[in-house]
Structure 1
Amino acid sequence: MMQAYFESLARYHVWATAKLLEQIAAISEEDYRRDCRLFFHSIHGTLNHMLVGERHWHSRIAEGISLKMALDTELESRRDVLASALTDASRRWDQWLSSNPQRDYSGNLHYTRATGAPAEAPLTAVLGHVFNHATHHRGQITAALTAMGYACPELDFIYWAVAKQQAEMNK
């Protein structure tokens, strides 16, 4: 049951990331880099933070490696390269989840924080955080887009679930 739930979240994550990046591709460079008063200042800064988060958590969960990288690190300066890296990063979760369908979700993940401090948390909470974190920042970006007068895609989970169900019925 947990496997199917997290696989659904991973597939939604890919879909929502793609829809947001498609919308962002249409905005001006000035607006893309404008300080919108987001926690990571701009859309560009927030997308970079999202990529940092993807890399932190994927390396911890899938590889057992804790990266030492600040949360505001600019990993990619070019927006097209950043969009491609985020797309790839979002796809890795579904690949990782489907690589072991008999995975045990009952344990804790032991890792080292970016500060070097040891930490542990339930694997289910960590996976939930991965997808919730991205949803949180996609929401910040859509609010910034709206404030600048741009249209925003509907990114709610239910829109993905309904579209998926309709696609399956049309097969």
Structure 2
Amino acid sequence: MRAHFQRFAAYNAWANLRLYDAAAKLTDEAWHRDTGAFFTSLAGTLNHILVADRIWMRRLTGEGETHTALTDMPFPALADLRPVREAMDARIIAFVDTLDDTAFGDDVHYSNTRGEPHHLQRGLILAHLFNHQTHHRGQAHHILSQLDQDPPPLDLLYFALPAA
């Protein structure tokens, strides 16, 4: 299990880097443009991914910033969001690296954003965290297309293939 989640943590950082490189080519107006996406714009979508990661990492580790609203936009400017995203990706990698195979089956007790108590296995939470990012990166990929940008390939296979 550990190697599986280590691969997903590394892939996650790789995919985010590629997506942020593409986003850096946008004007500020395009970055904030309402494209009809669930979180309105590329800025809203990428901030949402970070907000959700902060929430889940706080639940998993008991440390770090958290949010009560999934629509928070703590970093409206890409230049401010990017280093925080990169630090979060490094934090996720480091966290997964600390776990042994048995830790993925342990229950994590937490409260959701409405304060309701829940518990899930650590491995399921991490699977959700990575799946959630992939889901919203897909939306961000589509937003880039709507903004006349060539979105980068983000498939796991591109990450896994040896460099040519």
**TM-score when normalising by structure 2:** 0.93
1:34 counterpart letter in structure 2: R
SS state of the match for residue 41, structure 1?
coil
Name the residue aligned to 2:26: 27
Matched length: 164
Asked whether the 8 Å contact 1:68–1:115 carries over to 2, the reply is no
* Alignment root-mean-square deviation, CA: 1.8
1:147 counterpart letter in structure 2: Q
Asked whether the 8 Å contact 1:66–1:111 carries over to 2, the reply is no
Q: Which range moved further: 60-69 or 119-128? A: 60-69
> Do residues 113 (structure 1) and 102 (structure 2) align?
no
Please give the alpha-carbon distance, in whole angstroms, between the structure 2 residues aligned to 1:139 and 1:102.
30
1:66 to 1:21, Cα distance in 2 relative to 1, 3 A: closer
Please give the alpha-carbon distance, in whole angstroms, between the structure 1 residues aligned to 2:13 and 2:7.
10
Name the residue aligned to 1:38: 37
Q: Percent identity?
A: 31
Name stretches of at least 5 consecutive residues in structure 1 with no aligned partner: none
1:68 to 1:19, Cα distance in 2 relative to 1, 3 A: closer
SS state of the match for residue 154, structure 1?
coil
SS state of the match for residue 5, structure 1?
helix
Name stretches of at least 5 consecutive residues in structure 2 with no aligned partner: none
Please give the alpha-carbon distance, in whole angstroms, between the structure 2 residues aligned to 1:40 and 1:135.
15
**TM-score when normalising by structure 1:** 0.89
Name the residue aligned to 1:78: 77
SS state of the match for residue 61, structure 2?
helix
Please give the alpha-carbon distance, in whole angstroms, between the structure 2 residues aligned to 1:136 and 1:67.
21
SS state of the match for residue 104, structure 1?
helix
Q: Deviations over 1:99-131 (max 9, x none)?
A: 244552112221001111111122211100111
